[in-house]
Structure 1
């Protein structure tokens, strides 16, 4: 692909940080996203020193806040005239009790589903100015483990559980990225591709919260010794972001073993459309009229 401008969310630890390191070593201008300013600055300096790439940069946003995502996107567009690769890496697992963010949305769904949707929408303009724009979104093998989704209760007001919230949020983001392919085609945007990846069971801080259900704490403790390294977990993301063979490809799902298949048991174009319309509705106040109607 040559040297590119690459924005990675959730890049201050784990797979995002590893991907940022590798991509920066390749000579790309990597922009890492974090939530905490002090931590993000420290990671940025660490990565610059380790990679020898002083062109790296950082952006800040709380991905639990639509308003903050909008602010970050606006700041990016003021500083950069285009974006080559957007990596929606950030994700989280919360607790056994349903919690809302400050804007009234369920936290797991916000970070794992709504944030990638909104940020991708807001970044379509700079991506469309790239010679070859790519959107790489990190899903999870858990997308097949959330059970039947409730399209009349997307934010799980009446059906919340720890495993369902995470599983369906990672399923939904795959559906949304599929719809972006259609959305761009319908709006004559031809240069952006959309693909999803999963890291396998990698040793990261995902879901390391104090309110994780006890049963899940036990499961994670027993499973952790069998987890793979972040280096291996980051490879699908790096491949999707940079591999020449991914040029022009859409709707691929890539894991540590290569191309894989998405669980399609609950998929339909109607369900995809319902989800898309819901996301458009709740994110509309944070998108300009142009972005809503592109």
Structure 2
């Protein structure tokens, strides 16, 4: 019995170092796999390499204190555009503005307060723009809100995700449409997401305060596409184009709302597979500046190329109905511009 126990202890002492080595190799192999996937994503994602100059152009970028909005604003400033950073946090935007001016040597970067979840904030911002700007070449709807499980409403009693991601951009576009028409050829660029495919806009419940924000984020992305399609149809022949895009899955701050412990596993996926914000802004920049797209409208892009959307997201009947619902939700006034 003593001999057997001694043999077993000796066996464990002998095999234990090999188990450690195998475990370390497995961990290193997994890390290497993630690294390889990241390199693959980096070198296969679409990149806009055109050096188009934007001198004399005025561009509004919403929600650009971080992520792809930050990189979009920086890229456009580098091209010489006058960039209006429309942000909820003025303090964060002003700090970033200084960094952009220093790195691009373009002093034409302006910060203005805009909370897309607030209809009054949108109206104040639009009035300010119309008083201070004589042209608007590109309006980029980049800002987005993604909640997790905490249900929230805006000050207008609208579900916060839909208010920020759809109804806010819808109202802002209406209020600035005359300036866009005055500046033709001009463009509206809407940052959507291919993840819209896992959710659906409920046209029978346009203010879904009873649903989880995590689901509604994806539904709002379908709303972005439907809005773009109908906007392009209504603007046909005006010289104002409207296109939307999927930026890719981005390693950005939008994932910070994922609760623990899901955030741990998601962090590995995000760092291993997702694009950087710099890579993620490429399609937005292309739609904003590419001269070959001057007359292209009503399309959906991904990785700097035209892509397709589901039949539901391209249904003109659903797009028209969502538009009419949105007009009521945002309370368009008689004096507001019509599209």
TM-score, structure 2 length as denominator?
A: 0.79
| Change over 3 Å in CA distance of 1:74–1:134 after alignment to 2 | same
2:16 paired residue number: none
Higher normalized helix content (fraction of residues): 2
C-alpha deviation, 1:39, in angstroms = 1.3
CA–CA distance in structure 1, aligned partners of residues 298 and 261 of structure 2:
35
For the residue of structure 2 that corresponds to 1:136, the secondary structure is: strand
C-alpha deviation, 1:130, in angstroms = 0.9
1:125 paired residue number: 178
CA–CA distance in structure 2, aligned partners of residues 232 and 26 of structure 1:
17
Tell me, yes or no, if structure 1 residue 221 matches structure 2 residue 267: yes
Contact 1:83 1:130 in 2 (8 A): yes
C-alpha deviation, 1:180, in angstroms = 1.2
Give 1 or 2 for the bigger CA radius of gyration: 2
1:33-182 aligned at under 5 Å gives the runs: 33-146=86-199, 148-158=200-210, 160-182=211-233
CA–CA distance in structure 2, aligned partners of residues 101 and 84 of structure 1:
30
2:293 paired residue number: 246
Q: Which runs of 5+ in 1 are unaligned?
A: none
C-alpha deviation, 1:167, in angstroms = 1.1
Contact 1:203 1:224 in 2 (8 A): yes
For the residue of structure 1 that corresponds to 2:301, the secondary structure is: strand
1:9 paired residue number: 62
Tell me the number of residue pairs that the alignment of Structure 1 and Structure 2 aligns. 285
Contact 2:193 2:245 in 1 (8 A): yes
TM-score, structure 1 length as denominator?
A: 0.91
2:22 paired residue number: none
CA–CA distance in structure 2, aligned partners of residues 58 and 216 of structure 1:
35
How big is the alpha-carbon RMSD for the aligned residues of Structure 1 and Structure 2?
Answer: 1.8
| Change over 3 Å in CA distance of 1:198–1:216 after alignment to 2 | farther
C-alpha deviation, 1:34, in angstroms = 1.3
Contact 1:149 1:168 in 2 (8 A): yes
Contact 2:196 2:220 in 1 (8 A): yes
CA–CA distance in structure 2, aligned partners of residues 281 and 207 of structure 1:
32
| Change over 3 Å in CA distance of 1:257–1:246 after alignment to 2 | closer
